[in-house]
Structure 1
């Protein structure tokens, strides 16, 4: 499955290091659930009981705590405490008595959209208490959380305790992608496969979603598909819509600027664009939030968007600006001054300069140019 190093890391944390709290985070479709399920199967003999809870429908914390207490007690404990705090204490008692493995999947379903990443929805804060209890209290068990967003306090728990750790799942390499698509009847040269995987950032689900159009519309020819230079469409857009729809306004502004500039931007560059609307501290905290959502990447040159996210945000930005101009309400133009002279230019080449603009790709259409 192309995840041997990541699987080995999870196995080590579960069985050798005996971590109390683990997180597996990454974009939708990156393979978090598949990898964690495999790791849980490998580690199961080392635990007394293993329970998987799907949070997609937003079950109230009291219900999940009751369900877990029943399960880890062998369905003998039926006299439940009425309070959430009491149920947390009862579950912790079972975590201390035996080696339990509890996995909470789809954590983003109970996170608050429209604000910085990693905060729980109103009424669901007890899940954060559960994570904090697992990380900070002595016990024999392990709680694993899987989600598209890293909880806000996860980094603090990792620093304060060697018993908490996070795995941020990245894309797959070309051989792994070819293995996933081996039955899709797609043909291409090695460099074309590399380009396909790079455009979709090695995301297994995005690659699978793209496979059908490549086969049906381009007769399975990668060269013909790549020549179109359009990769964000259909179900791929739907997947990215789910992520973008959760962003706070400040996060959207930074994503828009990264799409307009189409190159890596340092924190100071983004502060220059966003001031005086947003204080320096707000820009930094917003960038940290986007990293917790895995929607931006970072290297020595600064923050940038992967190709597929860049194309998606650019298309969305152009469409929204057009709608606003037609309606006579250019709100986005006021927040993202896309017509600013020099906007969209890559920095002058020099020592240490790394451009993230895709080879041969022009500035965002309708957004940037030489003035």
Structure 2
């Protein structure tokens, strides 16, 4: 970013940077190498590095290595951006003068803060050329989830946002209505009615960011096209800047104006950029490991996955990076197999599936047939079969071939398959992180990670279940039911656990017949011990409320036999025994329920209690208050 010298000087003097130190700082943030600065100023390189070291101390920049300059630049950018926003809210441009005569205003309330950003200089220059110099009316940044599209656009605003009179940012990943978003944006831009939208965009230089457009392409394609058409008509004043996983738009719909639409495809970080990103990791051994290059390559330089692994190493890596890479490599291969079997049935032979799986675990590197032979993936004696397998994969657009100067064919997975696998990995990791927050009682943090998990993979039943449970804990019943229903569409442990929770909510609402019917079906299909125990418990509860004491008694006992450390079954069984007149036996189960609850609380002090469990606990204390004083408080 070209940080204005006046701003840099003011901030540097505020922290006590000397004139000599400011001189080297100015040149360093402009991107000049230390050797070049040394030659220009006639000062030894080590002396200049010492001056820069003093600058880092005064700005309180931690760490070591080349990443310190990037951290300092980021701090300066953030500070400058805050100043721009503050002045913009007062109707003054960030440079202090308003050359267009219009008020300069920013609405970045939905934009994330830029906490770390490295590399991408070429892409930033491209965006600046298209948006500022060429005045392109529509610019899209596309790429798989986690590639850094949002961060790039946020950084672009920090770099050249001051060229605009007005900037509005809207994020669309909650399936919001496009028409309503446009109305609010136009109102902010020009304080005019919807009918004057085009006039608003033509009368001032506006930048309108629509982030995470991929869901809207599917649910509201006509609205997306209308907004794009609106900005094409506003040319050359305002710009629509989009981010999306893909770009499904048919340009021919816009005739001659389609050439004004620019699309930037964003791939992964280079190894050097990825290392800079990981430098501030909370897992300090990561960069020192000789496996770091393998990790970066395995994920194709995807910034989000790398940050998740680095910042949540205690959850994901468990301290053993080699084992983590090995298990991830296996998972990636399995995901590719599942993807091909799901989408192509028996059309893809087993050899082709093996080749595709191996390409997947080699990240974004293109691989030749000789590489496949050298690594034992294909048999050198079966060259014809290998070539046929690669041709088949290419025909189905599973792999793409690129020719190099040696005329040898190199193959890589197509972006469609790579995106699918990457999104499934992201969902898996985010679900694991979100579940840890959930068990720790950090439900708002859990909600954020789990919402992202289901965004990347709606079919991931564990994430849908965990998000439903999180919403239930946050007292958002409708949202909880919606996500439980999504989880229940699958045929796995999480699906049956979701059916169990849906039935529990139905019992609370008095829909006993419907709840019991669902529980009985799930009980026939589930095999997990914990889920079976929960299903028996809720069946016992439903039958108890229907006055079927015998059936209730049997199911509650089965629940206890499967999982004897859950208090709910004890409390319910105590109530059944009371109804049967067996009061002394009931007292024993009230005691067991309270003891189980206390033991669980010691193991998991942050565990959230179901509302009905708190009621039953109160009943137990009332029953035992006179008999056992130790249970009365």
Residue 260 in structure 1 maps to residue 353 in structure 2:
yes
Q: Distance in 2 between matches of 1:158 and 1:214?
A: 51
* Alignment match, 1:352: none
**Cα distance, 1:223–1:91 mapped onto 2, change above 3 Å:** same
Q: Distance in 2 between matches of 1:154 and 1:93?
A: 24
**Cα distance, 1:40–1:266 mapped onto 2, change above 3 Å:** farther
* Alignment match, 2:263: 166
Q: Is the 8 A contact 1:266 1:302 kept in 2?
A: no
* Alignment match, 2:225: 128
* Alignment match, 1:181: 278
Deviations 1:282-301 (A, max 9, x none): x6xxx5xxxxxxxx763424
* Alignment match, 2:306: 207
Q: Distance in 2 between matches of 1:101 and 1:134?
A: 10
| 1:213 Cα offset (Å) | 6.2
Task: Write the mapping of 1:1-371 to structure 2, written as runs, cut at 5 A.
Answer: 1-73=118-190, 75=191, 77-78=192-193, 80-81=194-195, 90-112=196-218, 121-122=219-220, 125-135=222-232, 138-154=235-251, 161-182=258-279, 183-184=281-282, 185-187=284-286, 192-211=291-310, 214-215=313-314, 220=319, 222-228=321-327, 230=329, 232=331, 252-253=343-344, 257=348, 260-263=353-356, 269=392, 298-300=400-402, 301=411, 303-304=413-414, 305-306=417-418, 309=421
- Where 1:201 maps in the other structure, the secondary structure is coil
| 1:23 Cα offset (Å) | 0.2
| 1:209 Cα offset (Å) | 2.3
In structure 1, the gaps of 5 or more residues are 82-89, 113-120, 273-282, 288-295, 328-371
Greater RCO (CA < 8 Å, at least 6 residues apart): 1
Q: Is the 8 A contact 1:201 1:307 kept in 2?
A: no
**Cα distance, 1:93–1:267 mapped onto 2, change above 3 Å:** farther
| 1:321 Cα offset (Å) | 12
Q: Distance in 1 between matches of 2:231 and 2:390?
A: 34
Deviations 1:86-141 (A, max 9, x none): xxxx22222211111111111012122xxxxxxxx25x522211113323664411
Deviations 1:52-86 (A, max 9, x none): 1111222323312221221111x3x24x44xxxxx
| 1:201 Cα offset (Å) | 1.0
| 1:37 Cα offset (Å) | 0.8
Q: Distance in 1 between matches of 2:342 and 2:199?
A: 40
**Cα distance, 1:38–1:199 mapped onto 2, change above 3 Å:** same
Q: Distance in 1 between matches of 2:182 and 2:157?
A: 20
Q: Is the 8 A contact 1:158 1:165 kept in 2?
A: no
Return the TM-score normalized by structure 1.
0.59
**Cα distance, 1:173–1:229 mapped onto 2, change above 3 Å:** same
| 1:150 Cα offset (Å) | 1.2
Larger fraction in helix: 2
Q: Is the 8 A contact 1:18 1:142 kept in 2?
A: yes
* Alignment match, 1:330: none
Count of equivalent residues: 270
- Where 2:291 maps in the other structure, the secondary structure is helix
**Cα distance, 1:257–1:178 mapped onto 2, change above 3 Å:** farther
Q: Distance in 1 between matches of 2:322 and 2:257?
A: 50
Q: Distance in 2 between matches of 1:205 and 1:140?
A: 34
Please say which structure displays the higher CA radius of gyration. Answer: 2
Give the CA RMSD over aligned residues. Answer: 4.5
- Where 1:111 maps in the other structure, the secondary structure is helix
Q: Distance in 1 between matches of 2:226 and 2:210?
A: 14
Q: Distance in 1 between matches of 2:209 and 2:189?
A: 13
Deviations 1:150-187 (A, max 9, x none): 13225876985442211111001222222222223234
Q: Is the 8 A contact 1:23 1:144 kept in 2?
A: yes
Q: Distance in 2 between matches of 1:155 and 1:268?
A: 31
In structure 2, the gaps of 5 or more residues are 1-117, 360-387, 403-410, 429-456, 458-489, 494-524, 526-633
Q: Distance in 2 between matches of 1:43 and 1:251?
A: 45
Deviations 1:297-323 (A, max 9, x none): 63424754549928969x99xxx9999
- Where 2:169 maps in the other structure, the secondary structure is strand
- Where 1:29 maps in the other structure, the secondary structure is coil
**Cα distance, 1:43–1:253 mapped onto 2, change above 3 Å:** farther
**Cα distance, 1:180–1:155 mapped onto 2, change above 3 Å:** farther
Q: Is the 8 A contact 2:141 2:263 kept in 1?
A: yes
